[in-house]
Structure 1
């Protein structure tokens, strides 16, 4: 491996451009070696000012570019399966943004392909596992000092939904973060999901069922509820409260600045996930680069990506039919160990 890990970034949109900036300026030990995006001008804009970066419109060309030793996938979810399998064919370690693959059948094909290799190459981009507050809550729950977790209460609010955002995407795009966070915090698989829909907000685009209330059951008998509101109009908020047998703990309240001025006080509310979780993204990519340079793969696995896809699909069915839907996972390959949730 070279002195600086050469990374091919697939996708130069909002997320991809931010990762390009991160690899160039916030993470040591790596460099952007190639970028692929169907819109070449967008890729060229994202790497403007960087030297020695090969720009392509095709994934294969970027993966085969000189100096590429690892891959960061930040393209739209439907393109992930093809990119992952192409990386596997070349033996390249991958950091893949969530969803690993949007549909569970495709996600399972990725898991099976990686299992056939006999070694992990994939880390899935569930960045909340790298957020300081989530890490602190995880440590507290693992210590057992509050007793057995009984419930998780989660809030996930966005300023507004982007064009083309669908009711299903509230589950498989937004709540997918809570799906993985709940599995990781509790160390339990999610076994069933129910979705309740109040009257849509007046701020929601016509036809969008926003907000929604999602209830998950877990293998260990805990309950997880998620309020998802993607057109709040005021800011980006993510909160989580764990209620346990001997106490409770809440995160997500104190990460922003409080300003006192002119006889009053107000607390700033982040307007974007890249602002709220900027440090978590930095930690995530830094951990991936460091592990890759050591010849290791850590963090959320392809199995975690698959499990999230299965639960999200069950959530969309529950959203459609108004019924409780059970979650059925395929047998877990030995590659992913005895613990169903990767750390």
Structure 2
């Protein structure tokens, strides 16, 4: 590839996330262009591609990958479709940014990881975008510096205004807590070895039958505990917060106090209403880093191993949710490609 030319990207999935990535690539990050869009809904694919010069629309991801000018693939389709799309990208040795989850379960993630190892080099970056959020980056740097001593506990809160109609109790783990699973592994540099899920009384604001909120405890191989309050029908806003408790101090992010007003006898600020507002810059920085890496001939960021590990932890979490008690996480040995 001529690195002076924009990187041609095929975006797979033209729903809310995929369309937002198309906008981001086309208007925001630079160094790349949308060469193709694929979606099972032909009208939706064509609508997203319509305003982009030279962009073709497809219903078959494999056809989008072989469209003229495609150098890389961004996968934003539903999780169950990811394995087939990733394996097709590997057939063409194309670098991929795959939105989480890598795949919906550990077995399929393991198959993807084995296929990537057969290539002999990394092709996949998984879309755990919190690693690119400025507050998380600062917290990671502080913990790595050792200034506060060894991390002992990590407290996480993850709240949404309301859950989609299709959300299940298990999806609180697989689609929401998955972010805290990766953040815990990344911030602490530990693997997660066991999961416990506690279930308080369901909120009156939750749809009937949905176990919301939940309280998840993650045990790491470094002796730390990470807990997650996941509450996807809190009703008032979107909040993602984390506090690291270390031997010589604590550090907290996510309070959202960038602007505080004092007026008419009151003080306060605003609360983000969804992920696209809270993490807009993180998504921009994530895709920009991916594009810049490919143009240098590198694939960096969260790896297929990270996607597999998150899937394995979430599987254990779902078993803990359904059966109660503490469930151990079963991980294969980490391959050399990801060390």
TM exceeding 0.5: yes
Q: Tell me the residue number matched to 2:112.
A: 110
- Structure 2: which 5+ runs fail to align? none
Q: What is the alpha-carbon distance in structure 2 between the residues aligned to residue 120 and residue 5 of structure 1?
A: 18
Deviates more, 1:204-213 or 1:324-333: 324-333
Of 29, 34, 41, which residue of structure 2 is paired with 1:39?
41
Whether the 8 Å CA contact 1:256–1:270 is kept in 2: the answer is no
Matches within 5 A, 1:206-217: 206-217=208-219
Matches within 5 A, 1:174-185: 174-185=176-187
Following TM superposition, by how much is the alpha carbon of 1:46 offset from its aligned partner in structure 2, in angstroms? 2.1
Say yes or no: does 1:90 pair with 2:92: yes
Following TM superposition, by how much is the alpha carbon of 1:256 offset from its aligned partner in structure 2, in angstroms? 4.5
- Structure 1: which 5+ runs fail to align? 338-343
SS state at 1:241 partner: strand
Q: What is the alpha-carbon distance in structure 2 between the residues aligned to residue 190 and residue 320 of structure 1?
A: 19
Of 226, 229, 241, which residue of structure 2 is paired with 1:227?
229
SS state at 1:307 partner: helix
Q: Tell me the residue number matched to 1:123.
A: 125
Q: What is the alpha-carbon distance in structure 2 between the residues aligned to residue 260 and residue 14 of structure 1?
A: 36
SS state at 1:101 partner: coil
Say yes or no: does 1:237 pair with 2:239: yes
Q: What is the alpha-carbon distance in structure 1 between the residues aligned to residue 259 and residue 114 of structure 2?
A: 45
Of 52, 69, 72, which residue of structure 2 is paired with 1:70?
72
Count of aligned positions: 337
TM-score normalised per structure 1: 0.97
Q: Tell me the residue number matched to 1:173.
A: 175
Whether the 8 Å CA contact 1:191–1:326 is kept in 2: the answer is yes
Matches within 5 A, 1:1-343: 1-2=1-2, 3-254=5-256, 256-337=258-339
The alignment yields a C-alpha RMSD, in angstroms, of 0.9
Following TM superposition, by how much is the alpha carbon of 1:215 offset from its aligned partner in structure 2, in angstroms? 0.2
Following TM superposition, by how much is the alpha carbon of 1:40 offset from its aligned partner in structure 2, in angstroms? 1.4
TM-score normalised per structure 2: 0.98
Following TM superposition, by how much is the alpha carbon of 1:308 offset from its aligned partner in structure 2, in angstroms? 0.1
Q: What is the alpha-carbon distance in structure 2 between the residues aligned to residue 259 and residue 18 of structure 1?
A: 31
Residue by residue, what CA displacement relative to the aligned partner does 1:82-137 show, whole Å, maximum 9, x if unpaired?
A: 00000000000000000000111000000000011110000000000000000000
